[in-house]
Structure 1
């Protein structure tokens, strides 16, 4: 679905990404981890089309991302930034409605899908609220819901349980503002959508929370890939020491993904 080939990005004399190769297929949950400033968010923003001066090749659905009409690509790829600032007095449901602007459907159909997603993400009680008055965690859940609403097909395009087939969700620190209850709940919801064909690339510092959901893990350091593969193959003391500069303690878990501590 998404493929990067030898992708590099520089800003002046600084190399932000160098020689990255990766592939995400429908249903994959790829987790990108690494220390601050290693290029994780830059990688997401590059795939999201916010950095256009990269070298190499980025293809989506067998076609260069630069060749996709922007409105069509918006139906297939959504990006949730780490910080979502709202300058205007939008209420919650108006933010979600922005995710449906490229769809050809009635207002009734649009509202039905929005209410459905709001119920799944437990944000229906926020309807009618100015998003500027929401807590950081509430606002984060609203913008994740908006991205998912953006990727939902309209009523005439439903695919019998594979509504997210061939679609990509990019998440930058999606649980950073969430409390303990909603962190796990959000990951369970997103992972459930992977079963409907959604491909996910998730950047997170909350490694122990994210790893059990990952089908692929990438360790980044200074814009380069140190290791890539399943969590059980990538997460070991040597790789983590090389990535973060500290020697961790790995506690075995029943799911073969170790718990990481100092």
Structure 2
């Protein structure tokens, strides 16, 4: 299990994350939701150890995250960042293979198969030989998702895996947004814990098991999406009117009303 104990973070005197104690369970999709500047990416960067812990603790399998060797940690968790900058003239398959750098090495044939399978899982199998630099934003996003999947493709003995996604649907069209999150849910069956920063409340309602709502660096709400995401919350943190609806099969969703007179 991955958990935080009074985790907090400040930068240049500005509080980015107030003390937070939460747990992330294997086999569940945890969404992190909230407006811009709420602390969502900050939390993900701390959980992945991209940023050091300023205050409090992060524990992975009851060991402080700071005690883990970088290579060992890379076999347990992979993070998909918001930005996908890469200047080298790599093919899409070579980019995905970068995810295997710290993995337990298999035969060359098996390594190629993992790369191919990861690309196929992300709907990017036909991109394997193409130059990454010449791909569209959405194509690059799918290749980068394949890279992080390849990183944790095989489970370490007796250990859980963690897939951290920072706005994974940002550059994807509507169909691939849903395909991405369906794929994430498929990984739950293998006991993987998925932690995803999402901006669309309806994607959270459709795919997440738990949601953590942050606002101005502070925990605003936590629990099941259907119990947390409602019209009152949308009005309070976004200033937007919304109506809570339910489909005949019991699926909840939010109809957000446009406010054309409002200014950012």
Instruction: Give the TM interval when normalised to the shorter protein.
Output: over 0.9
Q: 1:54 to 1:256 in 2, by over 3 A?
A: farther
Aligned residues: 255
Aligned equivalents of 2:224 and 2:179: distance in 1?
Answer: 23
Determine whether 1:47 maps to 2:47: yes
What does residue 106 of structure 2 align with?
105
Superposed displacement of residue 256, structure 1? 4.5
Root mean square deviation of aligned Cα: 1.7
Superposed displacement of residue 46, structure 1? 1.1
Determine whether 1:188 maps to 2:197: no
Aligned equivalents of 1:7 and 1:132: distance in 2?
Answer: 38
Aligned equivalents of 2:157 and 2:45: distance in 1?
Answer: 29
Instruction: Indicate conservation of the 8 Å contact 2:204/2:225, yes or no.
Output: no
Aligned equivalents of 1:65 and 1:139: distance in 2?
Answer: 30
Q: 2:253 aligns with which of 227, 251, 258?
A: 258
Determine whether 1:238 maps to 2:239: no
Instruction: Indicate conservation of the 8 Å contact 1:39/1:222, yes or no.
Output: yes
Aligned equivalents of 1:23 and 1:255: distance in 2?
Answer: 27
Superposed displacement of residue 242, structure 1? 2.5
Superposed displacement of residue 238, structure 1? 2.3
What does residue 125 of structure 2 align with?
124
Aligned equivalents of 2:132 and 2:100: distance in 1?
Answer: 18
Question: How far does the alpha carbon of each residue in 1:131-165 deviate from its partner, in whole angstroms, 9 at most, with x for none?
Answer: 111000000010111101100128xx789xxxxx6
Aligned equivalents of 1:42 and 1:158: distance in 2?
Answer: 30
What does residue 261 of structure 2 align with?
none
Aligned equivalents of 2:100 and 2:201: distance in 1?
Answer: 32
SS of 2:95's equivalent in the other structure is: helix
Instruction: Indicate conservation of the 8 Å contact 2:244/2:252, yes or no.
Output: no
Superposed displacement of residue 70, structure 1? 0.5
Determine whether 1:219 maps to 2:213: yes
Give 5+ residue unaligned stretches, structure 2.
Answer: 258-264
Determine whether 1:65 maps to 2:60: no
Q: 1:195 to 1:255 in 2, by over 3 A?
A: farther
Give 5+ residue unaligned stretches, structure 1.
Answer: 160-164
Instruction: Indicate conservation of the 8 Å contact 1:219/1:243, yes or no.
Output: no
Aligned equivalents of 2:12 and 2:143: distance in 1?
Answer: 36
What TM-score results when the alignment is normalised by the length of structure 1? 0.92
Q: 1:203 aligns with which of 197, 205, 222?
A: 197
Give runs of ≥4 in structure 1 deviating > 6 Å.
none
Aligned equivalents of 1:142 and 1:256: distance in 2?
Answer: 31
Superposed displacement of residue 53, structure 1? 4.0
Aligned equivalents of 1:256 and 1:6: distance in 2?
Answer: 34
